[in-house]
């Protein structure tokens, strides 16, 4: 135990918590600024974020001119769509993840098939089930539209060249990622409570009520949630086969991470690829260490537990309509998906009481961060800063 926490205990702030629990809580808060992305040199450029925000809400990137990124990542629905699985031009088999706090993720999509926010941003544009667009058409659109062309040139130093559509497409993703990096919601009631326990500024002993504190005890203890939902993002950034049932539209044989690893290695926009701004970075070297084994079959990325209130339905195929349904599944382990592949051995029935389930849900809802700046929830007046 560190000296700060020892002092905290002596001062009486943490009398409800053991030294081990206080150490764990201090490692889960606060949510700092997103980590740098060296593969995207404009990741924190305000002009890039402005251009990216315009593009995020612009349906002209789609094949039919009617679908934007915001169609599925709707600000009014927690930057998701409220559907069990993604559905625009066609219906997919997986839930639309939120892009709020996505800048903290090491791997993107449920199967981790990309390794940066900018590489993720371009895939839906050309997906025939989503936006149905084309990178050459996108490059031509940017080259024709005066303000867009000037905004692109302001950020990337040269006008968009339709003859280099791959480069323009990568830069579109990098601008959208710069906007999405601003979609951060932290300073939740949980964070203010932990600040009180650890003596940091902004602490509030009353930020968590008794039910939420009981739920937090369960989260750290008997329910063992923190084994996978760890750190300030409440995710280990890894992949697990929880044997969740496929739901109405999910694929019972979805290979998950197993196929995602193949797609990641083949993606020209990955961190080691020709469009990365740091192809020798740690993010790029990480690709060489990945192991492609059958143990990853049916495994999906551990989602963050922050800001869950407006993200229903839940899980990779929207299998559960409410948080209560999710908690009951993990408590009872009933209706498991039949599979012969590797499943998580640490998951066992918890047999939590209705009161304990309610307490856990109360704690999870205490992870709801401060609202986003309203100016981030709509298209800007111009793509130019």
Phi-psi region of 109 (alpha: psi -120 to 50; beta: other; left: phi over 0): left
Mean pLDDT of 164-184: 98
- Residue 318 CA to residue 212 CA, distance in Å, equals 25
Q: Which CATH architecture has domain 46-184?
A: Orthogonal Bundle (1.10)
Average pLDDT over residues 191-213: 97
pLDDT (tens digit per residue) in 308-357: 999 999 999 999 999 999 999 999 987 777 665 666 566 788 999 999 99
Long-range contacts (CB closer than 8 Å, 24 or more residues apart) made by 18-27: 21/217, 21/220, 21/221, 22/197, 22/198, 24/220, 24/226, 25/194, 25/197, 25/198, 25/220, 26/2, 26/194, 26/197, 26/198, 27/230, 27/231, 27/232
At residue 294, does pLDDT exceed 80? yes
Closest CA to 99 of 28, 176, 190, 188: 176
Spatial neighbors of 38 by CB under 8 A, at least 6 apart, are 277, 278, 281, 283
What mean pLDDT do residues 226-247 have?
94
C-alpha 5/C-alpha 36 separation (Å) is 29
Q: Are 241 and 339 in contact (CB under 8 A)?
A: yes
Contact 380, 55 (CB under 8 A): no
The answer to whether 79 touches 98, Cβ cutoff 8 Å, is: yes
| SS3 per residue for 121-146 | HHHHHHCCCCCCCCHHHHHHHHHHCH
Position 7 pLDDT exceeds 80: no
Which region among 31-40, 58-67, 216-225, 241-250 has the lowest average model confidence (pLDDT)? 241-250
Instruction: Provide the 10 A C-beta neighbour count for residue 202.
Output: 11
Q: What is the mean pLDDT of residues 353-369?
A: 98
Alpha carbon distance 74, 69 (integer Å):
8
CB-based burial, 127-161: b 16+ in 10 Å, e otherwise? beebbbbbbebbbebbbebeebbebbebbbeeebe
What is the distance between the alpha carbons of residues 299 and 228, in angstroms, rounded to a whole number?
13
- Which residue, among 367, 35, 366, 325, has the nearest Cα to 234 in the 3D structure? 367
**Who wins on pLDDT, 168 or 347?**
168
Which H or E element spans position 71?
Answer: helix 69-72
User: What gap in Å lies between CA 233 and CA 304, rounded to an integer?
Assistant: 6
Residue with tokens 């929830």: 377
- Sequence-distant (6+) residues with CB within 8 A of 132 are 62, 63, 64, 67, 89, 126
Pick from 101, 331, 336, 97: nearest CA to 215: 331
pLDDT digits (tens, 9 = 90+) for 71-117: 999 999 999 999 999 999 999 999 999 999 999 999 999 999 999 99
| Backbone angles phi and psi of 328, in degrees to 5 | -65, -35
Q: Is the peptide bond before 313 cis (omega within 30 degrees of 0)?
A: yes
Mean pLDDT of the residues in the chain: 93
Count, residues in the chain: 385
Is residue 179 a contact partner of residue 380, using CB atoms and an 8 Å limit?
no
pLDDT value of residue 333: 85
Query: Is the pLDDT higher at 356 or at 15?
Result: 356
- pLDDT for residue 39 is more than 70: yes
pTM metric for this prediction: 0.94
């Amino acid at each position: 135990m560190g000296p700060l926490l020892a002092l905290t205990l002596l001062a009486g702030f943490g009398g409800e918590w053991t030294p081990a629990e206080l150490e764990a809580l201090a490692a889960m808060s606060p949510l700092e600024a997103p980590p740098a992305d060296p593969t995207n040199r404009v990741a924190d450029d305000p002009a890039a974020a402005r251009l990216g925000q315009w593009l995020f809400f612009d349906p002209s990137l789609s094949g039919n001119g009617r679908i934007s990124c915001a169609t599925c990542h709707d600000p009014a629905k927690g930057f998701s769509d409220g559907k069990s699985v993604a559905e625009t031009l066609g219906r997919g088999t997986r839930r639309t993840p939120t892009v709020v706090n996505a800048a903290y993720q090491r791997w993107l999509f449920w199967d981790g098939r990309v390794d940066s926010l900018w590489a993720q941003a371009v895939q839906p544009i050309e997906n025939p089930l989503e936006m149905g667009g084309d990178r050459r058409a996108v490059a031509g659109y940017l080259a024709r539209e005066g303000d867009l062309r000037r905004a692109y040139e302001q950020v990337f130093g040269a006008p968009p060249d339709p003859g280099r559509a791959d480069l323009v497409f990568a830069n579109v993703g990098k601008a959208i990622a710069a906007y999405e990096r601003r979609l951060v919601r932290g300073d939740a009631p949980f964070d203010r409570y932990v600040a009180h326990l650890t003596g940091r500024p902004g602490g509030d002993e009353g930020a968590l009520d008794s039910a939420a504190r009981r739920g937090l005890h369960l989260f750290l203890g008997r329910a063992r949630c923190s084994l996978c939902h760890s750190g300030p993002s409440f995710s280990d950034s890894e992949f697990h086969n929880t044997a969740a049932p496929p739901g109405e539209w999910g694929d019972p044989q979805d290979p998950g991470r197993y196929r995602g690893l193949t797609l990641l290695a083949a993606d020209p926009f990955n961190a080691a690829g020709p469009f990365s701004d740091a192809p020798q970075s740690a993010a790029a070297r990480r690709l060489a260490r990945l192991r492609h084994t059958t143990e990853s079959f049916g495994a999906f990325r551990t989602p963050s537990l922050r800001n869950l209130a407006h993200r229903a339905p839940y899980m990779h195929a929207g299998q559960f309509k409410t948080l209560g349904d999710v908690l009951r599944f993990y408590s009872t382990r009933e209706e498991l998906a039949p599979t012969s592949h590797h499943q998580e051995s640490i998951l066992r029935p918890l047999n939590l009481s209705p009161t304990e389930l309610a307490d856990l849900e109360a704690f999870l809802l205490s992870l709801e961060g401060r609202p986003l700046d309203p100016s981030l929830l709509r298209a800007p007046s111009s793509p130019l800063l």
